[in-house]
């Protein structure tokens, strides 16, 4: 049962999300080549960091010659955005038949693509198969990312710089479109609206802190609006 769920996750990863991810990582591989980063670092960072924004931060700081500890801390802060995703997906995949330690492993599998598919597909699966499904998704996506990044690295000279940047941002655009299509509740709609407004406004005020501030303040505002609306209806 567990192995079948794992294979299902792997197959699921080779759909449209996997294609978008492959295009994004081809762009990342090309950017890494242009920045003088060894292909070994590209492969290891894809497996360990496993998040394009964090890897782009790594590339930027590598270019300016930042010390390794600064690069590690910057990547950690960038990837802190996965904490809310992990908190929301854990209750969905939790089952009493699994030992507690397995959820620490499962938390490392959470990324943008695996999170959104797991949240959507898990209710259709038996509870005991959901962790294995998430593991299959992550394994498939990481394999796609590694192969695509290496391909992009070695064909970098044939990809124009503008196209490299455009390919990298395909995944975030796909994620936003997916969220809009999957809006099923008032809370999600309010959160998307608040985030969509807060992001550009805070970018105009402080580009360096815009993502953090927009997420925190926009999310807090969305929660307050939803809670106030719920009380007024009651």
Q: For the chain, give the number of residues.
A: 234
In angstroms, the CA 18 to CA 158 distance is: 23
168 or 118: which leads in pLDDT? 118
In angstroms, the CA 178 to CA 175 distance is: 5
183: pLDDT strictly greater than 60 = no
Contact status, residue 150 vs residue 39, Cβ threshold 8 Å: yes
pTM assigned to the model: 0.79
In angstroms, the CA 71 to CA 67 distance is: 7
Interval 170-179 mean pLDDT: 70
24 or 183: which leads in pLDDT? 24
| Segment 93-150, tens digit of pLDDT | 988 888 889 999 888 888 888 888 888 888 889 989 999 999 999 999 999 999 999 9
In angstroms, the CA 41 to CA 221 distance is: 40
Confidence at residue 144, expressed as pLDDT on a 0 to 100 scale: 93
157: pLDDT strictly greater than 90 = no
| Segment 186-233, tens digit of pLDDT | 777 788 788 888 888 988 888 877 777 887 888 888 888 878 876 665
180: pLDDT strictly greater than 70 = no
Mean pLDDT of all residues belonging to the chain: 84
Confidence at residue 230, expressed as pLDDT on a 0 to 100 scale: 65
In angstroms, the CA 209 to CA 211 distance is: 6
| Segment 16-55, tens digit of pLDDT | 888 888 888 998 999 899 888 999 999 999 998 888 888 8
């Amino acid at each position: 049962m567990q192995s079948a769920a794992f294979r299902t996750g792997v197959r699921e990863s080779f759909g449209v999300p996997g294609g978008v991810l492959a295009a994004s990582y081809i762009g990342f591989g090309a950017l890494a080549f242009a920045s003088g980063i060894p292909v070994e670092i590209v492969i290891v960072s894809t497996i360990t960091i496993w998040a394009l924004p964090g890897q782009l931060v790594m590339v930027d700081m590598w270019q300016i010659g930042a010390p390794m500890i600064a690069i590690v801390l910057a990547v950690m802060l960038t990837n802190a955005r996965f904490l809310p995703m992990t908190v929301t997906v854990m209750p969905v995949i939790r089952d009493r038949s699994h030992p507690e330690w397995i959820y620490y492993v499962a938390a490392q599998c959470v990324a943008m693509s695996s999170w959104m598919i797991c949240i959507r597909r898990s209710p259709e699966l038996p509870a005991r198969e959901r962790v294995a499904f998430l593991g299959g998704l992550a394994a498939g996506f990481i394999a796609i990312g590694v192969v695509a990044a290496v391909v992009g690295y070695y064909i970098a000279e044939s990809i124009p710089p503008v196209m490299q940047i455009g390919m990298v941002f395909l995944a975030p655009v796909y994620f936003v479109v997916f969220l809009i299509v999957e809006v099923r509740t008032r809370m999600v709609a309010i959160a998307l609206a608040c985030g969509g407004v807060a992001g550009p406004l805070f970018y105009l005020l402080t580009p360096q802190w815009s993502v953090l501030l927009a997420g925190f303040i926009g999310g807090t505002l969305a929660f307050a609006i939803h809670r106030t609306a719920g009380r007024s209806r009651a």
